Structure formats: structure tokens, C-alpha cells
Amino acid sequence: MKYRLLSILTLLLPILTFAQDKGLDEKVNDAFMPVAVWWEGFILTSIPIAGYNMPLVLILLIFGATFFTIYFKFPNITKFGLAINTVRGKYDELDHHSVEKAELNIVDGDLVDTIADESKEGEVSHFQALATAVSGTVGLGNIAGVAVAIALGGPGATFWMIICGLIGMSTKFVECTLGVKYRDVGEDGTVYGGPMYYLSRGLKEKGFTGLGKVLAALFAILCVGASFGGGNAFQSNQAAVQLST
């Protein structure tokens, strides 16, 4: 039933959009614009440090990544070989150590040969996880983001992007480690995890139960918003703009 409703909505959406004076995309843009402007102003709030005005988001990202890099003794360099071995599957057997072979769930649309055994601790391989992460960041950050940065800051911006990318690997290292440490594995092998889990559980261990729940809920809400505007919508929009101009 839900597939029929989705199909009908898909067919009617272009008709409803063209039948109105203002398109659906413009209405959505107008509705979210005040929120986007406020949020942009908040994260780009400048704080004076050593005679320079530095945006808040820059302080959080750069200083945080630098701290992780130094504290964990440059994992972006020293653990590079380990990362390559992990991605190429050298440690898959260590992860999938639980027992019996279970039938793959094909009722809900899972395809045999494309997912791991759901009786094991994990649903995707290391390489599949890497491919998924790369597919969600290359178009938005490494293509559109680089172009915007060079247009605004000149060729020198490339150097700082390389430096930030290098130390940012330490931040990703911490995120992934926390995600695995605080994840849940259901009886059917389904894995539940992410920042929502390690924010609430990690801060609870430190005695900040309330703060952990608030931050976890905030992340979940912002993640929903980002999934609409920061993923395929942004990339497809950029492609459409190039074709139309």
C-alpha cells in the first residue's frame, strides 16, 4: 500500500508544482531561509583570539582535530597501514566471530550476496562502510566545497584544505572508534549506533546524563535536516544549475 501511495505522489508532484505560481522548491527555500540565516550567523560568530577574529566553527573543528591528532600521537600517519589493512579485509574474520550461519532476510528487500550474514556482529564489510562514507562526502566537500573555497580564498586555500583534511582524519578516527564502542547489536544482527548513541552513553559514564540526551537528540534532529539539504539534493541541484546555465 505504501508503495502505491508513494508512486501516486511521485506522479502528482510535478503537476502540483507547475500548477502553482511559486514552485515547491521555492516554497521550501522560503520557509527554511530564516532558520538557515540564523544558524549560519551563529556558527560563523567570530571570537577574538590573539588579535584575530576567528569563527566559532573554525575553532571547534581545527582545535578539536589538532587536539585529537596530538593526544593520539598522529593516528592519521602512524595508523595509515592499519587503515589500509582494515579496508582490504584483513581483519574481517575477527569482527565476524560469532557462530552459526543464518538465512539472509530477503522479505524486507535485502539482496543475497550484497550484505553480510545478519547473525554476525556487523551488517557491512569495512570496504562497504568506506565506500558509503566516501560517496556521501566527495561530491559535497571535495568538489563543491573545494571550488567555493578557491573562489573565495584563492589558490592558497588549497594548502589549508590539505592541512585541515590531514588533521581531520584524527577526528574521523575518534568518531568511528566511539561509534563502534557504544553501538548496539540486536538479536537478529542489526547494528544500532552513531553519534546519538555515543553522545548519550559516553557522557552518561562521565556523569552528564542529561547533557548527553540533549546533545544526542539535537544531533538526530540536525541529521534529518542535513539529509535533505546536504546530500543528493545539493549535488543534483548543482548539476541542474550547470545544465540550465
What total of structural domains would you count in the chain? 3
The strand pairing partners of 48, in sequence order, are: 53
pLDDT tens, position by position, 202-228: 999 988 999 999 999 999 888 887 777
Both 1 and 73 in a single domain?
no
Q: Is residue 131 part of a domain?
A: yes
Q: Distance between CA atoms of 133 and 130, rounded to whole angstroms?
A: 5
pTM above threshold 0.75: no
Same domain, 186 and 235: yes
Q: Are 189 and 117 in contact (CB under 8 A)?
A: yes
Q: What is the rounded average pLDDT for all residues in the chain? A: 76
Q: In the prediction, which pLDDT does 98 show?
A: 45
Do residue 154 and residue 201 come from a single domain? no
Same domain membership, residue 64 and residue 164: yes
Do 87 and 149 belong together in one domain? Answer: yes
Q: Both 186 and 152 in a single domain? A: no
Domain range spanning residue 160? 54-93+124-169
Same-domain check for residues 224 and 163: no
| Tens digit of each residue's pLDDT (9 = 90 or more) over 26-58 | 777 788 788 878 888 887 888 888 777 888 888
Same-domain pairing of 33 and 77: no
Q: Identify the weakest region by mean pLDDT among 37-41, 73-77, 94-98, 211-215.
A: 94-98
CA angle 195, 92, 202 (to 5 degrees): 20
- pLDDT of 231: 64
Whether pLDDT at 185 is above 80: no
Is residue 37 assigned to a domain?
A: yes
Beta bridge partners of 53: 48
Q: Hey, CA dihedral for 16, 22, 26, 27, is it positive or negative?
A: negative
Structural domain includes residue 108: no
Residues 197 and 240 in one domain: yes
